[in-house]
Amino acid sequence: MLVRDAMSTVVLTVGPDHTLRQAAALMSARRVGAAVVLDPDGIGIGILTERDVLNSVGLGQDPDTERVHAHTTTDVVFAAPAWTLEEAAGAMAHGGFRHLIVCDNGEPVGIVSVRDIIKCWAPARQQVPA
């Protein structure tokens, strides 16, 4: 199975000047653990994860004043839609992260998470009769 088969094509994007609270509220409402950060005038494509928000709050920083750009991961490992799930899982394990932005021709087209991969690999649930 390929990344294109497992990835979510509806991707939450935020700007570098959003506050962490704004980004967290959007992530919570969408029930996602990461947002793509688009900064065409700066870093280009980055990623903000729930862990980035958690680390900031844990340090006592104010999520109403902290900006996304200060917490964005910019050395992103990108996946291609044609990667196998094994390749994506290997990149995640090697880098120690749970999300990969999927790019095609330099543009983000999706995001794949560990959860997406597990859903594909896990056997279908069997309903047990009551």
Domain 3-121: which CATH number of 1.20.58.390, 3.40.50.970, 3.40.50.1370, 3.10.580.10:
3.10.580.10
Chain centre to alpha carbon of residue 38: 13
Q: Are strands 44-49 and 34-39 parallel, antiparallel or unpaired?
A: antiparallel
Over range 12-24, report the average pLDDT.
96
Model pLDDT, residue 74: 87
- Summarize pLDDT for 56-94 with one digit per residue, the tens: 999 999 999 999 999 999 888 999 999 999 999 999 999
- Summarize pLDDT for 100-115 with one digit per residue, the tens: 999 999 889 999 999 9
CA dihedral sign of residues 92, 93, 95, 97: positive
The residue ranking higher by pLDDT, 126 or 104, is 104
55/40 Cα distance (integer angstroms) = 26
Model pLDDT, residue 12: 94
Q: What is the token pair recorded at 57?
A: 């709050």
The burial class, CB within 10 Å (0-12 / 13-18 / 19+), for 47 is buried
- Domain ranges across the chain: 3-121
